Amino acid sequence: GAVVSQHPSRVICKSGTSVKIECRSLDFQATTMFWYRQFPKQSLMLMATSNEGSKATYEQGVEKDKFLINHASLTLSTLTVTSAHPEDSSFYICSASTRRGRSDTQYFGPGTRLTVL
């Protein structure tokens, strides 16, 4: 149980284009979904938190107009990187959380590797 999928797993795009990444919780309804970014040999950096039907909460320094998050249902969240540039190239990982006792446990997707040429 607690499987999270991401699509696509890998994407290469030209500078200036927009890229959409989907995150789905397959066998549970997620109370919250999170989007992270990870550079090589570094830990995960939280970009934003989203709850179904409400606006995402972005971490300090993350441009909300650059990284658009839509949380359409309890099992689907999307991250759109708008007007992507080479510096946006990174590994993007989503997670979905479900209540476990009194805390929320996060289960991670397999990640999406974005390369912007």
Sites of contact with another protein (CB under 8 A): 2, 4, 6, 31-32, 34, 41-44, 46, 49, 51, 57, 91, 93, 95, 97, 99-111, 113
- 44, 36, 31: which is closest to 94 by C-alpha? 36
CB 49 within 8 A of CB 57: yes
Residue closer to another protein (CB basis): 74 or 82: 74
- Tell me the closest approach of the beta carbon of residue 36 to another protein, in angstroms: 9
Q: Shortest approach of another protein to residue 76 CB, angstroms?
A: 17
CA distance 79 to 77: 7
Using the minimum distance from each CB to another protein, give the nearer residue, 86 or 101: 101
Write out the DSSP string of 16-68: T--EEEEEEESSS--SEEEEEEE-TTS-EEEEEEE-TTSPPEEPTT--TTTEE
Q: Which is nearer to another protein, 14 or 43 (CB)?
A: 43
Asked if omega into 110 is within 30° of 0 (cis), the reply is no
Q: Which is nearer to another protein, 84 or 93 (CB)?
A: 93
Q: How far is the CB of 91 from another protein (least distance, A)?
A: 7
